[in-house]
Amino acid sequence: MVHVENGQCGLCSHFGEKKAEPQIFQIRSKKEAAETFTAACGHPKHEALNLLVTANSGCSGFQVAAHQ
Ligand code: SF4
């Protein structure tokens, strides 16, 4: 497991936003994720590229998810 900090994909509203999966809500509440878990980034600048990110990835498009 990896620790997920503020500013990283696991706590970003765009992480898997097009396909809500239970793991994403667990990651937000526990602030940790399996190293191998990936989700599609729904940020408008990445969506067309089908960017898959791990929970401890990040970018300057981070937006804090509403429910953590
Ligand atoms: S790549 Fe950027 S915009 Fe996409 S989920 Fe991660 S922090 Fe959010």
Per domain, the residue ranges of the chain are 1-37+52-59+61-65
Pocket test for ligand 1, best of 8, 27, 43, 49 (most atoms within 8 A of CB): 43
Give the pLDDT of residue 24.
Answer: 95
Distance separating alpha carbons of residues 15 and 44, to the nearest angstrom? 12
Global confidence as pTM: 0.94
Give the pLDDT of residue 19.
Answer: 87
Q: Output the residue whose Cα is nearest ligand 1's atom 6.
A: 9
Give the pLDDT of residue 47.
Answer: 85
**Which residues line ligand 1 at a C-beta cut-off of 6 Å?**
9, 12, 14-15, 41, 43, 46, 53, 57-59, 61-62
Give the pLDDT of residue 61.
Answer: 98
Q: Are 61 and 14 a contacting pair, CB within 8 Å? A: yes
The string of pLDDT tens digits covering residues 6-63 is 999 999 999 999 988 899 999 999 999 999 999 999 999 998 999 999 999 999 999 9
